[in-house]
Amino acid sequence: MSFISAREHGAKPGSGGPASAQNEAIDRRERLRRLALETIDLSKDPYFMRNHLGQYECRLCLTLHTNEGNYLAHTQGKRHQQNLAKRAAREAAEKAAAPAPQRRAPIRRTVKIGRPGYRVTKQYDPSAQQRSLLFQIEYPEIEENAKPRHRFMSAYEQRVEAADKAFQYLIFAAEPYEHISFKIPNAEVDRADGKIFSHWDPDNKVFSLQFYFARLRDHGMQPSNMLLQSEPAIPPPPMPPLGAIPPPPMVPPSQGAPMAVTGPTGGPLAATVGITVPPLGCMAQPPGVRQGFLAPPPLPTSSF
């Protein structure tokens, strides 16, 4: 190529002619590689990995590279940037769909000062036929602006005693006092309006809780002996009068005919020959003999 032709194509004398598009791309990647080596730390790149063959891999695009510069040039390319945008969009969608993590309250480490005083009162409502318990817990040194708490716990949640399905536990808690629990019958608690209520007296520092047990008859169960045995039981219905139910007929062991058969009035209807049976109202029964039956005759006595 002559000097004139070189000037016509825009190249300087001695430069060997203008660079092609391929040469320009190679030069651009080399400049990007040098710039990336100066500004990017490969130890913090999560997608950079070196395999057992000594080659470098991009775990995002699954490509192989001969050296670090080649990998850095790849990270500045169009393919790697598109994969980064896709990964960021997918992670944002998954994060929005995932439920928010539950925030757990920190566990407080306080010095306990002992157990509080308490009173338990058993009550019975005859109109509703329900039994209730009233708990009064005293917290004279409770923390300022604090309020006691309570909850019912199953026998299978605790690890102090052997689990018994016939009982449940009622727990009271207030800082800085120790937690206390009461073992109560495992009966259903009536949670209707007015059947369970609590009150905190900030002046006297007394926490009160009262609740009613549901009536066992509503659930087809019989009252249990363990429910407040100190309360008086419901009296049984009165017995019918004596003349309302006639006694059964009496048959002596030595004769086949009945000795006396009573009627509606309580008097005898018939008697055997030689035996007169007075009415039941006039009959005096010796002790230990059922009413309506004749006492056996005394044994004959003999002297030797």
What is residue 301's predicted lDDT score, i.e. its pLDDT? 58
Report yes or no: 141 and 249 within 8 Å, Cβ to Cβ.
no
For the chain, give the mean pLDDT. 75
Q: Of the segments 66-70, 95-99, 150-154, which one has the largest average pLDDT value?
A: 150-154
Confidence band, pLDDT 50/70/90 cuts, at residue 224: very low
Contacts of 186 (CB under 8 A, 6+ apart): 155, 165, 166, 167, 168
Indicate whether 78 pLDDT > 50: yes
Q: What is the DSSP string of 176-214?
A: TSPPEEEEEE---EE-STTTEEEEEETTTTEEEEEEEEP
Task: Pull the structure tokens for residue 179.
Answer: 């937690």
What is residue 75's predicted lDDT score, i.e. its pLDDT? 86
Per-residue pLDDT tens over the stretch 272-298: 444 444 554 444 555 554 555 555 566
Predicted TM-score of the model (pTM): 0.41
Q: What percent of the chain has pLDDT over 90?
A: 27
Higher pLDDT, 177 or 291: 177
- For strands 167-173 and 63-65, give the pairing: unpaired
11-25, 107-121, 193-207, range with the lowest pLDDT: 11-25
> How many residues belong to the chain?
304
Indicate whether 150 pLDDT > 90: yes
Indicate whether 147 pLDDT > 60: yes
